[in-house]
Amino acid sequence: MTTPSAPRLLFCTSGGAGHLRPLLPLAHAALRCGHRVLWVTAPDATCELAAEGIEACAGGPSTAAARAAYRRRWPGWAGLHGEALGAHTYPRLFGGVIAPAMLPALERAVDGFQPDLVVHEVAALAAPLACARRGLRHWTHGIGLPQPPAQLRAAAAQVSGLWIAAGLAPPVDGGVYAQHYLEIAPPALARHADTPAGRVWPLSPSADSLPRRHRLPPPLGDRLACSPRPCVYLSFGTVFHGSEALVAAARALARLPVLGVITAGDTARCDALRGLGPDIHVLPYVDQAELMAHCDIVVSHGGAGTVLGACTSGRPQLVLPQAADQFRNARALERAGCAQVLHPVDATEDRIAAAILALLRDNDARRCAQAIAQEIAAMPSADDVVEALIAPAK
């Protein structure tokens, strides 16, 4: 229960699920401690926060409107693919489109809420400026592996005019690493990334403390618990579930002696994947932590949420990267020894099926995955970290 004098934490994220959900464990931990929490995010994400019992206000464009604005302003995106597309998109979408549109609403929320601390994800580039103008403490929360320095510098260049207009010298990293950084990648993956120097605090990516939503249907849960067949979980997250690679992977699963569970993101996509056989179960969403307890391997696009969920549960992974940070995630997993990777040109139905069978037999990959799960289990939890956030301001 909060009181008027309770510490106030303001969270700030972009609208996509991959930008919002990694911060939920910390927000819920703050609420459990009796802190007051307000969250500023894209208009289309406020409903998800309301379902989590978190007060939210809208700032900036919707996710769809932001992407449409990016595509209008930089039509050259259409000729790019894979990592080149991600490197082009990140600075322009989050720095050029979302940050200036979010800044006015974020500043109004800060002035009205008067937070003791702001916690923002790495792509919420309006937050460091709003805090710098007011002398507010702020912590940057990782959402996967740290952003490549070149991409962060490019994003900082996009928002430099906002800093200059505020009478401040624009930092080369957009202010993202000006204070503390919450690192949610386990050491086995972070050592292969450009982890920021300075005050880095480890924070477990585990979502086990979150309220359970999208539970497994009881008949499926019962079947998973007693099936003699290995279980394979296939997910392309909430953005890339329209990929043809997902269809190829689903068809590959249907050819194998496995029990497959596919999350397809929306009803239309689910309908398109049905009819693959009695051993393939297609759902819009699922409680990932609950399903991970039953599955043997995970097949995905390499989005940070799915990757870290599989790492937390100690599951080997087959990664079929498409864009954004997925190629970096795939490389880190492959170097850590817990994954196989098929790039788009190689991700045929035959090769996916062969890779799944090989991974199911790969004891070395399983041991590496379990070692990473042990690393995550040793990382501080959200409950461990939340008091450290606010302690200096008490």
pLDDT over 80 (residue 211): no
Mind listing the pLDDT tens digit for each residue in 305-363?
999 999 999 999 999 999 889 999 999 999 999 999 999 999 999 999 999 999 999 99
* Per-residue model confidence (pLDDT) at position 394: 45
β-pair partners for 57: 40
Q: At what angle do helices 304-313 and 363-378 cross, to 10 degrees?
A: 90
Question: Mean per-residue pLDDT for 105-134?
Answer: 97
Q: What is the pLDDT of residue 271?
A: 74
Which residue type is seen at 228?
A: P
- pLDDT per position as a tens digit, 268-304: 667 778 788 899 999 888 888 889 889 999 999 999 9
3-state helix, strand, coil in the chain (%, to 5): 50, 15, 35
The larger pLDDT score, comparing residue 243 to residue 253, is at 253
Residues 109 and 39: beta-carbon distance below 8 Å? no
pLDDT at 393 over 60: no
**pLDDT tens profile 56-96:** 999 999 999 999 999 999 999 999 988 899 999 999 999 99
Kindly indicate the confidence band of residue 225, based on its pLDDT and cuts at 50, 70 and 90: confident
CA gap 241, 205 in Å, rounded: 23
Q: pTM value? A: 0.92
Whether residue 297 contacts residue 317, with contact meaning beta carbons closer than 8 Å, is answered with yes
Report domain 8-205+379-393's class: alpha beta
Q: Where are the domains of the chain?
A: 8-205+379-393, 218-377
CA 374 vs. chain centroid, Å, equals: 21
Per-residue model confidence as pLDDT tens digits over 123-179: 999 999 999 999 999 999 999 999 899 999 999 999 999 999 999 999 999 999 999
Contact 337, 364 (CB under 8 A): yes
Residues 2-25 have pLDDT tens digits of 566 789 999 999 988 899 999 999
Q: Mean pLDDT throughout 385-389?
A: 86
Q: Are 25 and 210 in contact (CB under 8 A)?
A: yes
Q: What is the CATH number of domain 218-377?
A: 3.40.50.2000
Q: Do domains 8-205+379-393 and 218-377 have the same CATH topology?
A: yes
Which position has the higher pLDDT, 209 or 304? 304
pLDDT of the residue at 2 = 57
Per-residue model confidence (pLDDT) at position 239: 74
- Quote the CA–CA distance of 37 and 390 in Å, as a whole number: 12
d(CA 361, CA 378): 28
Q: Which of 293, 133, 142 is nearest to 212 (CA)?
A: 293
pLDDT at position 85: 92
**198: which 2 tokens?**
């300075």
Q: Which two tokens stand for residue 348?
A: 């045929």
Q: Is the pLDDT of residue 39 over 90?
A: yes
Identify which of 347, 335, 146 has the alpha carbon closest to the alpha carbon of residue 234.
Answer: 347
**Residue ranges in the chain assigned as alpha helix (H):** 17-20, 24-32, 46-51, 63-73, 82-90, 99-113, 126-134, 149-165, 187-190, 218-226, 244-254, 267-273, 288-292, 304-313, 326-336, 349-360, 363-378, 382-390
Q: What tens digit of pLDDT does each residue of 40-58 get?
A: 999 999 999 999 999 999 9
